[in-house]
Amino acid sequence: MAKKDDKKKAKGASPGGIVLAAHPRARRDIALAKGWGGLGVFALVVYLSVKAGVPAADALLRGIVFGMGGYVVGWGLAVAVWRHLALAEIEAARRRLRDAHQEQQRRLEAAAEGGGQGAG
């Protein structure tokens, strides 16, 4: 029984929580940030290493190592940004629902007042 609970916790599925992996735009943008972060840092490090006179094999090795770091940094930054964006989307939806509910309540109250006056 405990192993099943551990598996659920390991997947990161929290009841009622925000899961960016389930958000289609966030998932796509995070994947793009990881890819461009890794490739960009790789290319920059290889270029700078070759320009500094480092042998090609060493320049490529440096590029791969730093490219992995760029991949992780890109992922971390994208997740941090999308956490805020997802919370902002939720807040905007909450406000729209609240405003729609208030408008509906106002209309119902106006209809109730108008209906009471016409009958008396």
Query: Could you state, in order of their start, the residue ranges of all structural domains in the chain?
Result: 26-115
**CA distance linking residue 119 with residue 98, whole number of Å:** 32
Token pair, residue 94, equals 């909450």
Q: For residue 40, which of 69, 73, 67 has the smallest C-alpha distance?
A: 67
Q: For residue 82, which of 17, 39, 15, 19 has the smallest C-alpha distance?
A: 19
Q: For residue 43, which of 23, 62, 24 has the smallest C-alpha distance?
A: 62
Its pTM stands at: 0.68
pLDDT exceeds cutoff 50 at 92 = yes
Task: Note the pLDDT tens digit of each residue in 11-61.
Answer: 555 566 778 888 889 999 999 999 999 999 999 999 999 999 999 999 999
How far apart are the two ends of the chain, measured CA to CA in Å?
Answer: 67
